[in-house]
Structure 1
Amino acid sequence: MTPPTTVHGVEGEERDDLTSDESAHIRRRSLRLLGSLLAPLRLRVIAAMTIVVVSTAAQVAGPALIALGIDRALPAVLERADWMPAFLVVGAYLLTGALGATLISWYTVLAARISQAILIDLRKRVFLQTQRLSLDFHESYTSGRIISRQTSDLDSIRELLDSGINQLVSGVLYMGFTAVALVLVDWVSGLVLLGSLIPLFVLTRWFQLRSQRMFRESRVRSAKLIVFFVEAMTGIRAVKAFRKERRNERAFGELVEQYRDTNARVIQLFGVFDPGLVFIGNVSVAVVLLVGGFRVADGQLAIGALLAALLYTRRFFDPMEEMAMFYNSYQSAAAALEKISGVLEERPGVPDPVAPVDLWTSQGRITFDDVTFAYAADRVVLPKFDLEIPAGQTIALVGTTGAGKSTLAKLISRFYDPTDGAVRLDGIDLRDLHPKDLRRAIVMVTQEAYLFSGSVADNIALGKPDATIEEITAAAKAVGAHTFIEALPNGYDTDVNKRGGRVSAGQRQLLSFARAFLADPAVLILDEATASLDIPSERLVQEALQTLLADRTAIIIAHRLSTVAIADRVLVMEHGRVIEDGAPAELIGGTGRFAAMHAAWRSSVG
């Protein structure tokens, strides 16, 4: 198995120097995602497209009907007092106007429903995917970037779907139908319009190439702003403790300036593009008027047809500015879709087994069978590691920082898979074990005790969602948390995130202990879990542990050697290897590394 590596699907999402091959791959990935989002809605999409085609055709019919009224209906009234052609033309004009307005209204509602369905689907996919991905993804992908995917990126896509697509579809159809109608009314004017397409194409292509780079850069700057802000707020304690406010102010100011400069360059592009569109449109109308005027004077063109030609030429350029604004939305949404598709393309570094093995009741025997593990190819943490932990045994892992203790715990919890070899529970490779059985059998408590929004009881019941209040209370009493919980404003019903419900770091750790004990796992891992506890609380927990760990396998990782006293066996690790293995009393009485560590600890607390 390959070791965990940098997240490849999103590694280039915040670069603006992508190669052509990388850009092509990202575009294909984004199109696949868009296709999968549209597939369940294809009937509604077809209906919406049909409606917008008919409504646009009805809107474009107006100038042709005006020409017909001037050139045919008006002479009939003046020469023969025949009002029927005039009534028919006026009726057709009103009918097409009403039909176009009604269908556009229908299309707007239908398009909004389609966009909302796409956004709901996409939002769910991002959330489920980020939960599904393994720990290596979350350790390399910052929280600010994940938040950006669910907020600013989805907002960009929402803006495109809500208004941008309408502008594009109606604009393209309107220009196409207008050009066809112009040719049918007067082919010479159609040739004039065709000639104007050359400078129009040059201007549009110039804008497209530059704006694509600018909008990508704008998205990169925006993402960096969000990431910096989220990280600064998440680490606000460290910011204040080390007086980092001024440095953050300068760094954030630089990011804001970079973002402002990028947006200023985007605005400059529009400052050239919009007036250019107006100029090309005005010149085209002027040429049509000039050529058509001479032809009207020579009797080659009716005055109504000239009026229709002028209206069509003028209207042909009307959607261009809206389409330019669409391109603005499109570039932002395309960049957002690229990033989201990168997240959705990721595959868990710890995939679920194809044919999972059930283990309804676990004994708790852990085996490391010739395990090698590396976070990166040049960073081997465990070289050829073998270990047998009998069921029901409590072992303590000690050693210097970086010795591999926490890595061992993460492999047992299957937060990572070994690069080589196998980690087994009751003889079953963890990679083959059913995920539900794995999570039921093995629970890990870390130093970072996280409490979710809700009551104290809800947080403890996370270990057993269907637990009764009696079971929750019993778990809290077992770890010494009951007393402080009862002292909270609403006891077990206290909201931990509201005023009066705040708990200390040590109390949070006790709640996480209660959560783990309520889950009643066969294997319990405590990774520096007592580091946040004061001495009295630690003693209470140690007393509880001696009872609660009696019938389960326990792995205790601790720098406080007082915690080691309850272990049946101590493993001293160094550079990913076990250098000492024995009972606590045996190792303390010896002359090895653990004896020296214990003596140093005794002198520090004495």
Structure 2
Amino acid sequence: MSEQQEEQVTKPGAQPETATQPESPTQTGSPAQEWRGVAGEDAEVTASGNLALAARSRRLLGSLVRPYRGKAWLALAIIVIDNVANMVGPLFIAVALDAGVSSAVHSDFSPLVWAIVGFLASTCVAAVTTFTFLKVTGRLSQNIIFDLRGRIFRHVQRLSISFHERYTSGRIISRLTSDLESLQDLLESALNDALSAILSLISIAIIMIYLDVPLALVVLAGFVPLVFITRWAQRRQRAGYRRTRAAIAKVIVHFVESMGGIRAVQAFRREPRNSEILADEDSEYRDANTYAMFGMSHYTGSLRLIGNTTTAVILLVGGWRVMHGDINIGVLAAYLLYLRRFYGPLDELAQVFNAYQSAAAALEKISGVLEEEPGVAAPEHPIEVGTSSGDVELDGVRFAYSEDGPDVLPKFTLGIPAGQVVALVGATGAGKSSLAKLVARFYDPSEGAVTLDGVPLDRMTDADLRRNIVMVTQESYLFSGSVADNIRLGNPQATDQEVYAAARAVGLYDFITALPDGFETDVRKRGGRLSAGQRQLVAFARVFLASPSVIVLDEATSSLDIPSERLVQEALETVLRGRTAIIIAHRLSTVAIADRVLVMESGQIIEDGAPDDLIAAGGRFAALHEAWEQSLV
């Protein structure tokens, strides 16, 4: 089972209307989408897919480095100086052995002294440049990671509800943690090693050719098998690290879902089964890492075998040439020192190569998220609305959750005058929640238009839309922080007096002031300090403070007990006064405050009228109302 398929099984609440609802349109589409977003999560990709993923990752990395080009060029200049300082050291040793020692025998110590001074000076310069380079690249890497983390967070927040219904929070956390850590490891340490190693290889190759061409040809001959080994290791490790990225995401997803649903886990004694699932997914992560590390061990072992073999051949050939007077002993000594430094960087590059493969796989996942486009796009030429009267109309709307999926709302037309309270009732899967999401513009219709005061919602700015239309769900989510901060979510600029007025309007003021710290009391994680009814009242206080012209309530009282429901009902009447409202409710007690009731079935309105009129007509709503009254007896 792929990560994408696994998520569709384990992600709860992904399809609100029916259990068989198709995926959203962004999961399928053109070939270009095959390598974007969720589709890019799969570990197995084709050769053309590899090219697409690599190009996408390079674009992302280029955009991250571009604002810091100056620091990047400074780092490159420093590492060049550092490389030169390191490379001239063996040359001073060669001069000391071939010229300095022989001159010292004849009492001329100046060549030997100058060679020693030159060697010490190059060592000091190398120490200073290494310190400076690490300082510059450390700050550069932290700035890049800081920018990338913020970019991911901002981008994911503005992605449509359809994305979040199919992409679990655990996978987002994986992008922001383990994937960013892999990239950070590459930028902080491996980048320094890679630049130093590459410059060292180039410099040493030039120096070895300058010192002795025949010996240089022996060294370069070792590169022939090394090229083939590198290509093999690259393919193996890239595939391995793609598997690790997908596997660790599964582990994080399972951990987040288990901790988020810990009440259900403990209530149904699911701890052993959850541990079994984690063991399976963690073993997949372990095996993927092992696979990648085996490739690394083969590559490193082959590299060292080739290096040691080449050193033995150089000793043999070089010693033979020294014996025949073709080269000096100092040249051979310098050559062996350079050869050691030549394969040392190759060994470092092998380690960098390992970090690069891990970071490249992580960058592919991150770039996939960043290339996701909002399913509800901002208009190119928005129409300013300001404060609307609240007149809502759905004109010839057809809606399906995917292009090839069934219509949830087939050719739906509805007008709701400003200030009217409309209740939607009907069986699960009738299309009520889909209608509400269209009005709140969590989705756009497949055909037709949803308008507010005659302006299509897809032509409005997001600020105008959220100012005029607010949706309240049955899950009144509270953020960690004070009660006042949670109420102020409806209007971040609201004064304390406005927050107090909103609390009074929904009947919450006395309760809040009785708390230990009043309005500054911490509600704790997800509002755990408050009851379900109190959390719902906080949500209504937010709405009152936001003062929208249209309110959409999606089963906002379904999880409350009778006393809590009555409190919420009273607050609801206050909040809805003078505003357009669409109420979705299975409890018909909520319908009592509605001016109009729409009974829906299979995406169509089968009854429409005032509550009393529909009851008197003896149709579907009358039967529902009678069943509800009997349930109260």
Q: TM-score category by the smaller chain?
A: over 0.9
The answer for the alignment partner of 1:301 in structure 2 is: 327
| 1:378 Cα offset (Å) | 1.5
Structure 2 counterpart of 1:243, which letter?
R
Q: TM-score, normalised by structure 2?
A: 0.92
The 1-side partners of 2:196 and 2:144 are apart by 20
Question: Is 1:502 paired with 2:529?
Answer: yes
| 1:594 Cα offset (Å) | 0.3
Specify which of 612, 625, 631 is matched with residue 585 of structure 1.
612
| 1:419 Cα offset (Å) | 0.8
When residues 339 and 271 of structure 1 are mapped into structure 2, their CA distance, relative to the original with a 3 A threshold, is closer
Q: How does 1:8-23 map to 2 (within 5 A)?
A: 8=33, 9-23=36-50
Structure 2 counterpart of 1:169, which letter?
L
Question: Is 1:342 paired with 2:363?
Answer: no
Specify which of 469, 489, 498 is matched with residue 462 of structure 1.
489
The answer for the alignment partner of 2:13 in structure 1 is: none
Q: Is there any run of 5+ residues in structure 1 with no aligned partner, and where?
A: none
Specify which of 9, 32, 36 is matched with residue 63 of structure 2.
36
Counterpart of 1:397 in 2: which secondary structure? strand
When residues 485 and 359 of structure 1 are mapped into structure 2, their CA distance, relative to the original with a 3 A threshold, is same
Q: How does 1:537-548 map to 2 (within 5 A)?
A: 537-548=564-575
Conserved 8 A contact 1:5-1:375? no
Counterpart of 2:173 in 1: which secondary structure? helix
Deviation by residue 1:9-53 (Cα, 9 ceiling, x = unmatched): 222333122112222111111111111111111122112112111
| 1:3 Cα offset (Å) | 7.0
Higher mean alpha-carbon deviation, 193-202 vs 110-119, is at 193-202
Counterpart of 2:326 in 1: which secondary structure? coil
The answer for the alignment partner of 1:242 in structure 2 is: 268
When residues 477 and 382 of structure 1 are mapped into structure 2, their CA distance, relative to the original with a 3 A threshold, is same
The 2-side partners of 1:532 and 1:269 are apart by 54
Conserved 8 A contact 2:174-2:248? no
The answer for the alignment partner of 1:182 in structure 2 is: 208
When residues 338 and 267 of structure 1 are mapped into structure 2, their CA distance, relative to the original with a 3 A threshold, is closer
The 1-side partners of 2:412 and 2:61 are apart by 46
The 2-side partners of 1:500 and 1:262 are apart by 40
Conserved 8 A contact 2:399-2:447? yes
Conserved 8 A contact 1:480-1:537? no
Specify which of 119, 124, 141 is matched with residue 93 of structure 1.
119
| 1:61 Cα offset (Å) | 1.1
| 1:499 Cα offset (Å) | 12
Counterpart of 1:561 in 2: which secondary structure? coil
Specify which of 553, 556, 565 is matched with residue 592 of structure 2.
565
Deviation by residue 1:60-83 (Cα, 9 ceiling, x = unmatched): 11112211111122222223x222
When residues 526 and 499 of structure 1 are mapped into structure 2, their CA distance, relative to the original with a 3 A threshold, is closer
Question: Is 1:210 paired with 2:241?
Answer: no
Q: Is there any run of 5+ residues in structure 2 with no aligned partner, and where?
A: 1-22
Counterpart of 2:407 in 1: which secondary structure? strand
| 1:500 Cα offset (Å) | 11
Conserved 8 A contact 1:488-1:501? no
When residues 23 and 204 of structure 1 are mapped into structure 2, their CA distance, relative to the original with a 3 A threshold, is closer
| 1:215 Cα offset (Å) | 1.7
Structure 2 counterpart of 1:599, which letter?
E
Q: How does 1:31-110 map to 2 (within 5 A)?
A: 31-79=58-106, 81-110=107-136
The 2-side partners of 1:147 and 1:489 are apart by 34
The answer for the alignment partner of 2:516 in structure 1 is: 489
The answer for the alignment partner of 2:406 in structure 1 is: 379
The answer for the alignment partner of 2:545 in structure 1 is: 518
Q: How does 1:96-495 map to 2 (within 5 A)?
A: 96-376=122-402, 377-495=404-522
Deviation by residue 1:404-451 (Cα, 9 ceiling, x = unmatched): 111111111111111111000001111111221111111111011111
Deviation by residue 1:74-129 (Cα, 9 ceiling, x = unmatched): 222223x2222222212211121111221121111111121111111111110110
| Residues matched between the structures, number | 604
Higher mean alpha-carbon deviation, 417-426 vs 34-43, is at 34-43
Structure 1 counterpart of 2:338, which letter?
Y
The 2-side partners of 1:91 and 1:548 are apart by 84
| 1:379 Cα offset (Å) | 2.5
Conserved 8 A contact 1:494-1:501? no
The 2-side partners of 1:547 and 1:162 are apart by 57
The 2-side partners of 1:548 and 1:449 are apart by 16
| 1:241 Cα offset (Å) | 2.8
The 2-side partners of 1:107 and 1:18 are apart by 37
Conserved 8 A contact 2:533-2:565? no
The answer for the alignment partner of 2:19 in structure 1 is: none
The 2-side partners of 1:65 and 1:547 are apart by 88
| 1:498 Cα offset (Å) | 6.9
RMSD: 1.8
Conserved 8 A contact 1:144-1:230? yes
| 1:207 Cα offset (Å) | 2.1
Conserved 8 A contact 1:37-1:121? yes
Q: TM-score, normalised by structure 1?
A: 0.96
Structure 2 counterpart of 1:209, which letter?
R
Q: 4+ runs of 1 displaced by more than 6 Å?
A: 498-501
Higher mean alpha-carbon deviation, 11-20 vs 594-603, is at 11-20
When residues 500 and 463 of structure 1 are mapped into structure 2, their CA distance, relative to the original with a 3 A threshold, is closer
The answer for the alignment partner of 1:6 in structure 2 is: 27
Identity %: 53
The 1-side partners of 2:62 and 2:608 are apart by 58
